[in-house]
Amino acid sequence: MRTARRNLAELADEFVIGLCDPEEQREVEDRLMKEPELAVLVELARQRFAALDAATPREAVPESLWHRVERRLDAVEESMAAPETKDSRVEAPVDLKSEREKRSRPMMWTAAASLAASLVLAIALVWNLMTTVEPQVIAVLVNDAGQPVAMIEGAENNATQVTLLGQTDVPAGTILQLWTKPDPDGPPVSLGIFDEPKQTILQAAGLPVPKPDQLYEITFEQPGGSPTGLPTGPILGKGLAREPR
């Protein structure tokens, strides 16, 4: 299977953007039902590119453009249907410059379309790089029902990106606080708090580089964070880190 050898994050981005061929599209759709990690990455890619699409102003195509296209198609159709005679070939003057322009216009449209597609892809890739960290570990946090509720990406410099999955209802008068256990036998350490259930990057100092099997947990706490320095509120989700492939 070709898609099995590809980097999962890259595959998810290409699947969402629409760069997969029909065979790859079917393969990915089948794998989404069997591979939770790929399903999470596809959902994250959809969120990133949806935000990019929402931030891009819509440009209306001039109505005159479609009229010109229709006239061009009608002219081509008439020229193909008209019978060609020896006399008409001799008597009809040929404007070579006009003919070259006619032939070059479809090529110009094709080049413009290709340039626009390349520009969109470049912006998408830049957006992807600007809104993510280079993960050392990745953890998918699940709730008591076993449903994924958040994805954690821990970088070598202890920047931690938190992406909530699905609908997260934060009770009134509470905030979200992220915890981890660098030492499996030690107490949980706070990585930071955030008020809104959206993608967030938290920066913690003085912690060792995150490693596989490190525990991550999100709890609901009072505004300002836990008053004890340890988790006190209900748990939104928890999970163990894994090294990304």
Tens of pLDDT, residues 29-59: 888 878 877 888 887 777 767 655 554 555 5
- 187 located within any domain: yes
Higher pLDDT, 206 or 132: 206
C-alpha span between 235 and 214 (Å, rounded) = 17
Query: How many C-beta atoms surround the C-beta of residue 78 within 10 A?
Result: 9
Q: Domain containing 208: what range?
A: 135-241
Flag whether 208 is in a domain. Answer: yes
130 — pLDDT class (breaks 50, 70, 90): very low
Q: Name which residue leads in pLDDT, 81 or 206.
A: 206
Q: Is residue 227 part of a domain?
A: yes
> With 90 as the cut, is the pLDDT of residue 18 above it?
no
* 175-185 mean pLDDT: 95
> How many CB atoms lie under 10 A from the CB of residue 239?
20
Most confident of 40-54, 86-100, 154-168: 154-168
Residue 97 lies inside a defined structural domain of this protein: no
Say whether 56 sits in a helix, a strand or coil: coil
User: Average pLDDT, whole number, for the chain?
Assistant: 77
Strand partners, 243: none
User: How confident is residue 9, by pLDDT bands cut at 50, 70 and 90?
Assistant: confident
- The answer as to whether 199 is a domain residue is yes
How many angstroms from the chain centroid is the CA of residue 116? 19
**What is the count of structural domains for the chain?**
2
Structure token pair of residue 51: 């935000």
CATH number at 228 reads 2.60.40
Element (H or E) spanning 30, and its range? helix 22-32
Our measurement of the distance from residue 126's CA atom to the centroid of its chain's CA atoms, rounded to an integer in Å, reads 11
User: What is the edge-to-edge ordering of all strands in the sheet holding 135-142?
Assistant: 189-194, 175-181, 215-221, 235-240, 135-142, 148-155, 159-164, 200-203
Q: What is the pLDDT of residue 8?
A: 81
Looking at 55, 75, 93, which one is the last position of a domain?
Answer: 55
51 shares its domain with 142: no
Can you say how many angstroms the Cα of residue 214 is from the centroid of all Cα atoms in its chain? 26
Angle at alpha carbon of residue 54, lines to 141 and 135, rounded to 5°: 35
CB distance 220 to 171 below 8 Å? yes
Q: Is residue 146 part of a domain?
A: yes
Residue 101 within a domain:
no
44 found inside a domain: yes
Cβ atoms 43, 50 nearer than 8 A: no
Boundary residue ending a domain (18, 38, 55): 55
